[in-house]
Amino acid sequence: MWYLGYIVAVLLAVWLIRGFAEPKTFIGFQFMVTLSWSLGFSYVLVLPFDIAWAFCRACDPSVQTCSCLPLDGIEILSVLVPTAYWTTLILGYLMNDLTRTYIESGEHTKCAKFRDALKEVSKFYVPATIVGIILLAVVLATMPEFRDLQTLKLLGRGFFNAISLLILVALLSYGLVEVPRALWNRGNIEGRMRYVKFQVALQSEALQAGRRRLDEALEQVKDTNQQLLRETGKDSEKLKEFMAGILARASSYEIEAAARGSPRAMRPAVHGGNITPPSTEESNTISRGRFGGFFGGRHGSVAPTSTPSSSSTRSAPPSGETVPITRKSLKVVHVKLKKALLNEKRSRSMYEEAVRRALKYQSIYEPSASSPPPGGVGLAPARIERDVESGSRRPERRPEVSKWKGQIQPLLYRVLSVCCIVLSLTIIWCEGTILLDGEPFNLNLSPLSLLIRWMGLGGGGAAVTLVIFVPLFYCAACTYYAFFNLRLCEGYSIHWNRHSDSSSLLFNATYACRFGSALCFNYLKLIHENETGQDGGLGFYRKAPDGSIVTSYFDQTAFGQMDNMPPPFSGDWFDDYVPLIIVLLSGCWYLNLFTVLVGFCCKCIPCLADCATQAFSFDEDFSDTRIEHGAAILVQEKRALADGVPLGSNLQLLATATTGEAPSRVTSRSESPLLPRLLTGRLTSPRSPASDDEEEAARTRNKATARAGRNVMRHNRLKDEHL
């Protein structure tokens, strides 16, 4: 039965990759992410069977009745657990990072991408290796007891394990507080109504910003291509071949956008003087090292190189002011275009999802007097929202909605939240009392340890396995909930409903595979498995009938033997004091102290500004203008869906809803096609005035494109209904 843990781990990883990965993600990248997640989950799902089997081995059937699960062949865990541990180390510290850098490379050929990935990875690992060698030389020179190879292995494993444990402490403390809070908020109908509108406004802003950024990237591609066509040199032909690949990527988006009827960003890209290729400093902004996104600006963002100009015509730059285009500068342009395309695609999909989810929620819970007055369509949602916030009007369940969604489901969320609160408080208490296990107190105040030890006296039956599994699974759920919802910088977060690209998935898998072994090690310390007993064996287990000391197979691995460190690093100081950080951080998360800290850090870490501005509170006294903006956007998008117009098409109306500006005509991409000018090199200013006939023809093409898009949508909807 123990092998079911590995099967469930694989199935869970496959389900997650199907929910997170974008369509058409390369199957090889999906396999690497699935393997990393499976190995991380397998520790948590197999450890309860390991501990239960240890209780069975310690039970003497001649003295009492021993209840054990059928765990034939579980002895192979002594081989599988170390193998999984070393595999996760290789995946977490090398393979996933190398593959992610390969994906983010601006090169075109596979060999060039691989060479570029090796260079980027070496920027972190080579200095880290040099520093490690220097520290090793210092240790060997000053501490003769470390001149043994086995001792050095213990020291190296302890260092890598400590990194995983410290990351685990931060994530677990967040999850222990936020998981019960999130479940409680699920049962808050009024708060959920405000939250879905708030998310619609946020996603509309992200969509507008994404399209502006994409326009800037396309303009930079256009200007770089124009300058490259004017240059002549021995490497110009190779650079033009490189540029052809960049133009092909841009043209594929133009064709897709024209078929979709996607509008331009509301603020057109700036035109003017000559556009020089990115400098070396800008290249370093793109090509960061391993942890650049955490401590720098937006990952992969480059400041626009175009400068505003009052003239609509492009003048030739004076000689000597242009920087010759190199392959490195083309790589920077290519990376910027790739990032902008991914960002626009993800923002568009997430905006559509947010709108549909909000409309679905509104169809279930909506104020009874939600019908807007004649001539006041745009004002009704804001007025209703103010009434809801003031308490004079509350969302009510429609008569046709089932009682399950209106009453039972919110109540179940609240009950589940209370259960999670009890588990969180129990785990925090157990973490804080680990310190009292050793000298001079020798106290075991962990209720989980006492309960599991008492139930395990009769062997490791189904009840014992379940009691072991529930707290461990809850700790794992809190940790992975915190990590999967991490929103630090672009490129380091994944999004549900197939909105995550390969690079983000690999970054997540790089760290997620390390948490399984760290969770199990922390859990074994939580239940005091290595506590010394009065009979000379372990206090958690009794001695086996043959007199041997019983331990779990996981405790025999390199990670389980982490505390067996040579002096002066020996002792349980790390294992005893680090759990206290969980208690401290949990209190900070509960009091929302880190929100204030993020506000102070926004100036130093620009990518944290998004996290600070996206803060939402389910408190009744919380108010934000974006809630009213989201309500106004929903009114407009509901009309658009009724007319068969794709969501997010009219960005100018979205800008009116979020900024209060007067609406103006939206310019479609088809009115100023960039593709012909990119491919032919005949670049004219899109701001130059066109004749009346050309404008009429452009409007006709635009209407035809929109009509064709609506017809395709209707055809697909009818086809789905037929199927």
CA dihedral 491, 495, 498, 500 (to 10 degrees): 10
Please tell me which residue, 677 or 584, carries the higher pLDDT value.
Answer: 584
- Helical axes 502-526 vs 77-90, angle rounded to 10°: 140
Indicate if the pLDDT at residue 516 is higher than 70. yes
Average pLDDT over the chain, rounded to an integer: 74
Please tell me which residue, 32 or 368, carries the higher pLDDT value.
Answer: 32
pLDDT bracket for residue 258 (50, 70, 90): low
Contact 178, 618 (CB under 8 A): no
| Model pLDDT, residue 276 | 36
Indicate if the pLDDT at residue 533 is higher than 60. no
pLDDT bracket for residue 177 (50, 70, 90): very high
DSSP secondary structure string for all residues of 299-331: TT---------S-SSPPPPPTTSSPPP-HHHHH
> What are phi and psi for residue 366, nearest 5 degrees?
-150, 140
Q: Please list, in sequence order, all residues whose beta carbon lies within 8 angstroms of the beta carbon of residue 556, skipping any fewer than 6 positions away.
A: 78
pLDDT per residue as tens digits for the range 367-382: 544 444 434 444 444 4
Bridge partners of 21, per DSSP, are: 500
Share of the chain above pLDDT 70, in %: 68
Indicate if the pLDDT at residue 603 is higher than 80. no
Indicate if the pLDDT at residue 390 is higher than 80. no
Please tell me which residue, 626 or 699, carries the higher pLDDT value.
Answer: 626
CA distance 615 to 622: 11
Contact 351, 204 (CB under 8 A): yes
Indicate if the pLDDT at residue 540 is higher than 80. no
pLDDT bracket for residue 414 (50, 70, 90): very high
> What are phi and psi for residue 267, nearest 5 degrees?
-100, 110
Contact 365, 271 (CB under 8 A): no
Cis peptide before 447 (omega within 30 of 0): no
The two three-digit tokens of residue 61, written as one number: 């059937």
* pLDDT-wise least confident of 41-45, 130-134, 341-345, 555-559: 555-559
> What are phi and psi for residue 396, nearest 5 degrees?
-125, 150
pLDDT per residue as tens digits for the range 442-451: 788 889 988 9
Query: Residue range 666-683: average pLDDT?
Result: 36
* pLDDT-wise least confident of 226-230, 387-391, 438-442: 387-391
Please tell me which residue, 433 or 96, carries the higher pLDDT value.
Answer: 433
pLDDT bracket for residue 714 (50, 70, 90): low
Q: Where are the alpha helices (DSSP H) in 433-556?
A: 447-455, 462-484, 502-526
Indicate if the pLDDT at residue 173 is higher than 90. yes
Its pTM stands at 0.76
* pLDDT-wise least confident of 280-284, 299-303, 381-385: 299-303
Query: Residue range 449-460: average pLDDT?
Result: 86
DSSP secondary structure string for all residues of 555-587: GGSTTTTTT-PPTTS-SSHHHHHHHHHHHHHHH
Q: Half-sphere exposure (CA, 13 Å, Cβ side) for 433? A: 18
Indicate if the pLDDT at residue 591 is higher than 80. yes
pLDDT bracket for residue 314 (50, 70, 90): very low
CA distance 707 to 204: 24
Query: Residue range 244-266: average pLDDT?
Result: 66
Burial class (CB in 10 A: 0-12, 13-18, 19+), 167: middle
pLDDT bracket for residue 660 (50, 70, 90): very low
Residue 365, SS3 per DSSP: strand
Query: Residue range 685-705: average pLDDT?
Result: 52
Indicate if the pLDDT at residue 279 is higher than 80. no
* pLDDT-wise least confident of 104-108, 413-417, 700-704: 700-704
CA distance 80 to 74: 10
* pLDDT-wise least confident of 86-95, 155-164, 168-177: 155-164
pLDDT per residue as tens digits for the range 196-221: 999 999 888 888 888 889 989 999 88
pLDDT bracket for residue 646 (50, 70, 90): confident
Please tell me which residue, 536 or 626, carries the higher pLDDT value.
Answer: 626
Q: Please list, in sequence order, all residues whose beta carbon lies within 8 angstroms of the beta carbon of residue 517, skipping any fewer than 6 positions away.
A: 43, 85, 88, 161, 164, 557, 559
Query: Residue range 600-622: average pLDDT?
Result: 64
Q: Which of 616, 618, 188, 193 is nearest to 414 (CA)?
A: 188
